[in-house]
Structure 1
């Protein structure tokens, strides 16, 4: 991994922000997108609508209203259409440079069956796109009415929730507040860092779906910290949901009147997703960090849904933000104007088909360097000589 230096001044962020809008079939992506595009504060947006099948039925729901709307109707962006996605964005950028069209950001609406990871990798691996665009955030629509069964039946939906920066709850009016709360709890278990909000509220203030990623040159320390962990619970995510009443139930303590609680039930698909985090007070040796990350990627890279962090390295005053999906990583970004005296490293890993203890053992390698103890073996079959690299 390329280590960041601390330049006298970080160049301004000029790359075009790209937002990935995902969510399973029928979750309400097009409905939300229509409302966002119609909002006067949205500005000029180029929309790439990805359809699965030869006819883009949802295209009738997209109100272009001066925005550039592109329908890719012959396949899925994340598989057969990946090359066309790169060419489409490059063509948009060229037309923008020529003055033929005007837009300030791109939104890619995926199919309900799409895995977000290959799309993110396309933006990073294509040299032209990497130089001119950046991932601004992954927004996932989660249908409260059908979402629990969708998560039970489709692992793609689980991956979409686990990779999101922002999860928007839709169709909250079709279920009880208790069911919404249980579904939200389940989503929190799949993704410990994503904000979870009501889609209806976001439609009124679309700016809240922009600027989600912490990997951008103009990121502030506050934005980076918010990207690493959702705010402390204050129940605000459920504000405005129909039927949600925070006042005590006067019948709750009377025999026979206590309502049966609705609890979050988890399917085997949920169990395939694991997450772990670490907070280290002292800066890391660069070799220790690189060896940990290289080992994690080489052994489990295909299963890494995302790994992100704010990292302090010895000898470098400025921390940096890093983020990766499977084997592919953004260039790390220095965090200038970081508060003096805070040298805390924060790392979060979300992966599939890796148990929580296995992820924790991986991070134990970094913990061991803080207390000067031998690092433990991480994955079954890993040779002891590999562990020696960590000390």
Structure 2
């Protein structure tokens, strides 16, 4: 009997941004790109997002076929049921075999529940893979929105791509860019005029060109570390009235492999004590039972995707690297908890701490 090869997971992107950020305009432009042909688009209401001029044929109920070759439907009821039903219909051949899903959230939405859906549900974990969160920021009103609405700050904090819209009306964006870079240094910041499919998509762990994990690109740890050493952030921290003053990005590096049980306990303690404040966690971790085969970690708040063990390190850097976006949680707590389970000073620790750990 011939074994059936497992189906490759379908990449899924989330497009979010506060009210008036320009999601409609960007999504219309993306759907005209040939690179997104055979894409399934999930939106809240057809009337909310101005795609009506692209609709050419009703397929089934709320589902329509766009002139670009994409399928589009409204989100009705439970997202888990919808995503599970779509993949079943795709397998049965009752709808076109879409190659990607884009979910457009409402302007007031917290993207975390959607991320939890993809990362935790058994069927959806097998059939979909999170490719990235695209967050739009209005260049005209972005700073005011971040000041006034914590939801907008969270949308930016969990993003893989930050897109500045309406830049033609606000040619000076340096201050907003600097603020976003402090808030989420791991995310790439783009002007909407350069935000095409190639720049926005394929932001996840796996590089579709090489068919292999690209951890360095996915983590962008160097940007987070550069942010940590940027003394300009002290001025930002003094403004306690800004929602993003509660958020910090941090990269933990460790040359010492951690025991599998210790790693599980480290995650469980973090999740149990501070789950809501772990806005996003991404990493590659060396375990002591087989340091040549690291595990990849991805979490959003209290929900973590089951760690995936790689066959080998994807590059020459064999150190543990974990990027954290934290809210109301000091990076020092995370570092010391990690050190408690590894029994070794972390990379970049002060000399006094290293001497303390190495003392007889």
Tell me the TM-score range normalised by the shorter chain: 0.7 to 0.9
Residues 1:133 and 2:107 aligned together:
no
Q: Per chain length, whose mean CA-contact separation is higher, i.e. which structure has more relative contact order (CA < 8 Å, sep 6+)?
A: 1
Give the distance between the partners of 1:364 and 1:195, measured in 2 at CA. Answer: 29
Q: Is the 8 Å Cα contact of residues 167 and 195 (structure 1) preserved in structure 2?
A: yes
1:48, distance to aligned residue in structure 2 (A)? 0.2
Give the distance between the partners of 1:12 and 1:208, measured in 2 at CA. Answer: 29
Give the distance between the partners of 1:26 and 1:166, measured in 2 at CA. Answer: 18
Q: Is the 8 Å Cα contact of residues 260 and 289 (structure 2) preserved in structure 1?
A: no
Provide TM-score, normalisation by structure 1. Answer: 0.73
Judge which range, 28-37 or 345-354, deviates more.
345-354
Structure 1 residues 368, 327: CA separation in 2 closer, same or farther (over 3 Å shift)?
Answer: closer
Q: Which residue of 2 aligns with 1:8?
A: none
Superposed CA deviations along residues 233-252 of structure 1, whole A, max 9, x for unmatched, are 9xxxxxxxxxxxxxxxxxxx
Superposed CA deviations along residues 190-226 of structure 1, whole A, max 9, x for unmatched, are 11211111221123xx1332221227998645x2111
Provide TM-score, normalisation by structure 2. Answer: 0.79
Which residues in structure 2 correspond to 1:133-282 (within 5 Å)?
Answer: 133-177=128-172, 180-203=173-196, 206-214=197-205, 220-221=212-213, 223-229=214-220, 267-282=241-256
Q: Which residue of 2 aligns with 1:364?
A: 336
Q: Is the 8 Å Cα contact of residues 169 and 196 (structure 1) preserved in structure 2?
A: yes
Instruction: Structure 1: state its 5+ residue gaps.
Output: 1-10, 75-80, 234-262, 374-391
Structure 1 residues 311, 369: CA separation in 2 closer, same or farther (over 3 Å shift)?
Answer: same
Q: Which residue of 2 aligns with 1:77?
A: none
Q: Which residue of 1 aligns with 2:349?
A: none
Report the 3-state secondary structure (helix = DSSP H, G, I; strand = E; otherwise coil) of the residue aligned with 2:130: strand
1:42, distance to aligned residue in structure 2 (A)? 2.2
Instruction: Structure 2: state its 5+ residue gaps.
Output: 55-65, 225-234, 346-360
1:125, distance to aligned residue in structure 2 (A)? 3.1
Give the distance between the partners of 1:145 and 1:230, measured in 2 at CA. Answer: 30
1:283, distance to aligned residue in structure 2 (A)? 1.7
Q: Is the 8 Å Cα contact of residues 283 and 321 (structure 2) preserved in structure 1?
A: yes
Give the distance between the partners of 2:53 and 2:274, measured in 1 at CA. Answer: 39
Structure 1 residues 48, 372: CA separation in 2 closer, same or farther (over 3 Å shift)?
Answer: closer
The alignment of Structure 1 onto Structure 2 pairs a total of residues equal to 315
Give the distance between the partners of 2:236 and 2:272, measured in 1 at CA. Answer: 34
Q: Which structure carries more strand by proportion?
A: 2
Give the distance between the partners of 1:232 and 1:306, measured in 2 at CA. Answer: 16
Of residues 71, 84, 89, the one that matches 2:83 is: 89
Superposed CA deviations along residues 354-386 of structure 1, whole A, max 9, x for unmatched, are 2xxx2222212324566647xxxxxxxxxxxxx
Q: Which residue of 1 aligns with 2:227?
A: none
Q: Which residue of 1 aligns with 2:356?
A: none
Structure 1 residues 162, 219: CA separation in 2 closer, same or farther (over 3 Å shift)?
Answer: farther
Q: Is the 8 Å Cα contact of residues 139 and 167 (structure 1) preserved in structure 2?
A: yes
Q: Is the 8 Å Cα contact of residues 257 and 287 (structure 2) preserved in structure 1?
A: yes
Judge which range, 279-288 or 100-109, deviates more.
279-288
Give the distance between the partners of 2:315 and 2:222, measured in 1 at CA. Answer: 22
